[in-house]
A and B are shown apart, each in its own frame.
Chain A
């Protein structure tokens, strides 16, 4: 058994788009978010991307997945979720998936990607900020009530 520090992600990972429904392997990882997204937006505008191991068994679940919703012209996209499954967290796969995802969206003609950072959104906002996403100035950032600041919703945006 190799120690965790020696554990590295396989060299045969590939980003793929899979159908956006909860029945797919990628859909399962994203299940609650995907269900919510499908309630709000049409399925044709939801895209699920997975990072899976080409050299893994065909039936193995992907290592990571992301959900993106686009506007009708597909010029703007909203990143709704980006998740890496347990054993593979902390290996840089979040960043890898984000990088490949942005490349893919850019190639598809998307100009702007945004993310709605809600309180308790975990590490993703920090990753996004370090990847060139910036807070939207339109977001009100002054609150009278002390203690409400941390509960505020922020939109993170990146032009591609």
Chain B
């Protein structure tokens, strides 16, 4: 064992840079990379750690390596390589050839590297390639350094060191540098410079010999060097001094003459003053000649220590072309050519605000910062800058990105953020992550809404823990693509963030008119929350573009160029960057002129620029990019390989040019890719035909399926997405199946909106020609109906379920009919029909099913009876309906299932919502509240049903307590349907209290929530509220037109009395009469009866229609009640008022006075001052009159 341990340990101990051997005995990548020796002092050569000369392949391939070697470790732009080596080829084909060389060179340089691990020596780095080697790995650099050291030794009076320093270097000289590229300009310039360095080194060596008294050798060396380079006066001087010191004065002087004659004859020159001075010194036998002759000291070593590429004069570090504002992948690596992060131009006001928010964050106040702007405007760059600012302040930063399409699991951005914040991956946070990702199924509370609340709450608590010790910034990119569940969670948390050191910076594209509802909802709600703020990022101005150009290029940009670029790009930074890259691939950027921009064959958008850039890549690379675009912004290499059927090495080879030109980014720590900008992917995707997209999605889906093998669960959304897109080209069955599985999974994870979306997708993917497509459709429709019902989309649910009933009826599938029909009999606040509508078809279906139902199926029977009862509510068979519901309740009691009982009681509550059965209605609602395990929504609904009676009776304290409770619970369930009704109840209460600003605010909110459901009533209720909110404030006479027009529609008949009242109040009595003639004055004995009758009463006091006596008979018995509509959306004072007025109208002054007094006293007792005043005023009027 000891031996074995010793073997393992020893390589680790040898940290001296010698050969490092991995456990397998093969040099590990890193050491192998460091052991490579690049030699250009002679023909190009690379020698590995074992001393083997590598086979570098064909001449062109060697030329590529030579160019990279000369620039190492800096990036050589791809366009430059092609410029130098392939002048006459199309860029697309030259790029392909280059890529083949690069990948072959990689194989030669790193034979141990697995094809899937990143290259360490020959790396890709936008905008091209670089050789990531240390300076010492190049013989020319060692040589130059040795020459410098020798020169220094001589200058410092240590001539004896010179041989030792120079010998190894001189022996590495194998001949003319880069001798195998005799015709290449880049090689010639370097060779000339190196030859100069060598000559200077040899001269230094000879000088050192002379200084050490080895004058004969020095003289011979000087003669030898002069044979190659006779015009070097320094060498002539050395020769003369060496000869002189060796007591060969005559030869020294004749050397001078040789030099003088040669210069004179061949060049017509005279020797330099220095050489002439030397001649004189020899003639004068100057004693200083024995020492170092100052001015004849060795010529300085060529100043460039590092060999740099020939050709252009700009330094390697500046040769990278423009640095566009597209997001860079992570930090530039050391040795990657010192890429300078581009400065953020024209964004200072935004950065200032971000700094302020980050400083607030440091003080414990977080919030939500929404950064919106069109694509390419630089939102992500701003977020990156925010990340940098946060890091400076010691704030933890977590990134999360939302992906386009439905291919990611619910809560995806939150999962990423939580995982990043929770570095340890243990304890509470990971539990929450598990429940969000559905690993740990939400505790089966049996109530989806409670479960969702608990889950959101847990996330909030976890974030609280994670930020307890240090503040955090979550950067959520592209929230316009976030799933509905994530958006809901954001709005849920948003309300509390101002009390927590957590700032969420979310970037998004501006909402268009067709923004998805969940996004519009979330934004609406977020903007109402404290601590939320929006920043709209705008386009760059011409001045800012000029600044930007100054930044990426030394040459000052002309205002005209900036204007031209602004015109072309609309000031969009991404477009600008892409356009500059395109221009730079044709011109040198500092030569770009206005005409180039104007003349560019770019019609309009950034997408065209990207398309042009793509067209410069090899065609197979283009194909691969198109397939990658179908996969998504993040490209899993394994999926792309499997989908396209090519190997990993070839895939990397083909994608390299896209990385080198900045269209793709290599994802750190893996071999996956990411499109550098969403627009790049979109441009590629948009150029595919529908058929191409469909086929490619199918292939991608199959690839994911193949790769997922055992673990399909985590891939369901993405499988549903791809097969869904391919449903019409033969993947229908898979599309439907995966969408259905994804829908169930989403519902399990409490992401109900996603569930709806997946059910819809499953239906859309269904192939109508498949054998049992009709029955599959029924099953899916029922699921869709249920899912929609849960999200509050009642009308949508209705559509799906009606279709099921019809379809299943045709198929003779009773079970499906019953299942579909009874989904509606679930627990609801209102009847699901529009006001006054009975669907006779559905009544027929339900009755038919009841008639044929086997007697033992009591449960089904209860469901059917309850549903039928509600269905009959708006018609003449209302009483019969109530009896059906009562029977359903009795059946449920017999069965003993509390859920069924709650459901049937709720059915009964609705059927009994009439003036005659108010008591039963109220009692049934109370009974629901006594049932165990009540889902939160059911509880809220039951409470809402109980509340109107409290209001009518003036039990305002009880009413307020209930309302507060409902509001609290509603915040937890967040169903628009419930939200709307509870908010309306609050509206009515605010009216009653005379708090008009609050009433208006709540009414707007309630209408907003209501519109998100598809229930009947949002518009009529809005009109009624608008009228009464003015009327109650004494502003009569408004809204006549709107009400009259709306009332013309039969489905709005509820607001007809209001329209007539409005006409009367506006003094348009003739109109009021005409309307009554047209519409009649019936008050339905349904939930609206009291409110409607009150209004007719008011009308009758003015125009004596409807008959005041009849109305008195109806109203006098309930004169003590406060008036309210439905569950309270309009509430006002006691009916005493209208009764008093009717009494006056019918000549009963005493009765009138009595009710006016009662009116005043009721309101005084209730503390409703403005209504008390109303009563008092009426009283005065009656007495005065």
Contacts and interface: CB of A to CB of B under 8 A. Distances in A.
B618 A100 contact: yes
Interface in B75-129: 93, 96-97, 99-101, 103-104, 107
Interface string A1-21: 000000000111111100000
Contacts of B695: 54-57
Contacts of A78: none
A77 to B, nearest CB: 13
Interface string A75-115: 00000000000000000000010011011111111010000
A159 interface: yes
A14 B644 contact: yes
A107 B100 contact: yes
Contacts of B96: 99-100, 103
From B58, B622, B696, residue with most partner A Cβ within 10 Å: B58
Interface in A127-160: 159-160
Given A55-B695, A58-B699, A14 B99 contact: no
From B58, B60, B620, residue with most partner A Cβ within 10 Å: B620
B57 A109 contact: yes
Contacts of A100: 96, 618-620
A84 to B, nearest CB: 15
A12 B100 contact: no
Interface string A51-79: 00011111000000000000000000000
A13 B619 contact: yes
Contacts of A14: 620, 623-624, 627, 644, 646
A107 B653 contact: yes
A111 B688 contact: no
Interface in B629-660: 643-646, 650, 653
B618 to A, nearest CB: 7
Interface string B724-749: 00000110000000000000000000
B1122 to A, nearest CB: 69
Contacts of B620: 13-15, 100, 103
A10 B695 CA distance: 13
A94 to B, nearest CB: 13
A54 B699 contact: yes
Contact of A106 (B101, B687, B693, B696): B101
Given A103-B618, A109-B104, A11 B688 contact: yes
Contact of B692 (A10, A102, A106): A10
Contacts of A55: 688-689, 691-693, 695-696
Contacts of A104: 100, 650
Nearest to B98: A103
Interface string B668-690: 00000000000000000001110
Nearest to B105: A107
B215 to A, nearest CB: 53
B105 to A, nearest CB: 10
B644 A109 contact: no
A113 B643 CA distance: 30
B788 interface: no
A108 B93 CA distance: 17
Interface in B1-41: none
B672 to A, nearest CB: 19
Contact of A107 (B99, B622, B626): B99
From A11, A57, A107, A109, residue with most partner B Cβ within 10 Å: A107
B97 A103 contact: yes
Given A54-B623, A99-B93, A107 B103 contact: yes
B100 A11 contact: no
Nearest to B92: A99
A109 to B, nearest CB: 6
Given A54-B696, A109-B57, A11 B645 contact: no
Contacts of B58: 106, 111, 159-160
A146 B646 CA distance: 50
A122 B304 CA distance: 57
Q: Which of the four size classes fits the interface of chain B? A: 35 or more
From A11, A12, A105, residue with most partner B Cβ within 10 Å: A12
Contacts of A11: 622-623, 626, 687-688, 692
A16 B650 CA distance: 9
Nearest to A52: B645
A159 B699 CA distance: 37
A34 B61 CA distance: 31
Interface in B43-96: 57-58, 60-61, 93, 96
B623 A109 contact: no
B115 to A, nearest CB: 11
Contacts of B97: 102-103, 106
A56 B688 CA distance: 13
A109 B107 contact: yes
B624 A107 contact: no
A111 B623 CA distance: 26
B1069 to A, nearest CB: 72
B696 A107 contact: no
Interface in B523-572: none
Contacts of A16: 644-646
Contacts of A96: 619
Interface in B932-981: none
Contacts of B101: 106-107
Nearest to B684: A11
A109 B653 CA distance: 14
Contacts of B688: 11-12, 55
B644 A54 contact: yes
A54 B61 CA distance: 31
A116 to B, nearest CB: 22
A99 B622 CA distance: 14
Contacts of B107: 109
B617 to A, nearest CB: 12
A105 B688 CA distance: 29
Interface in A11-35: 11-16
Contacts of A58: 699
A107 B699 contact: no
B704 to A, nearest CB: 15
B99 A103 contact: yes
Given A12-B692, A57-B695, A103 B622 contact: no
Nearest to A107: B100
B623 to A, nearest CB: 5
Contacts of A108: 104
Contacts of B696: 12, 54-55
Nearest to B626: A12
A110 B646 CA distance: 19
Contacts of B693: 55
B646 A106 contact: no
Contacts of B93: 99
Contacts of B687: 11
A33 to B, nearest CB: 23
A103 B103 CA distance: 10
B104 A107 contact: yes
Contacts of A109: 57, 104, 107
Contacts of B699: 54, 58
B58 to A, nearest CB: 6
A5 to B, nearest CB: 19
Nearest to A51: B620
A108 B115 CA distance: 13
Given A10-B692, A109-B104, 16 more contacts: A11-B622, A12-B623, A12-B626, A12-B688, A13-B623, A14-B627, A55-B691, A57-B695, A57-B729, A100-B619, A102-B100, A103-B96, A103-B618, A104-B100, A104-B650, A109-B107
Query: 10 closest Cβ contacts across the A-B interface?
Result: A55-B692, A106-B100, A107-B100, A55-B695, A103-B100, A103-B96, A14-B623, A107-B103, A55-B696, A12-B623
26 contacts: A10-B692, A11-B688, A12-B692, A12-B696, A13-B623, A14-B623, A14-B624, A16-B645, A54-B623, A54-B626, A54-B627, A54-B699, A55-B695, A57-B729, A96-B619, A99-B93, A99-B618, A99-B619, A102-B97, A103-B97, A103-B620, A106-B58, A107-B99, A107-B100, A107-B104, A159-B58
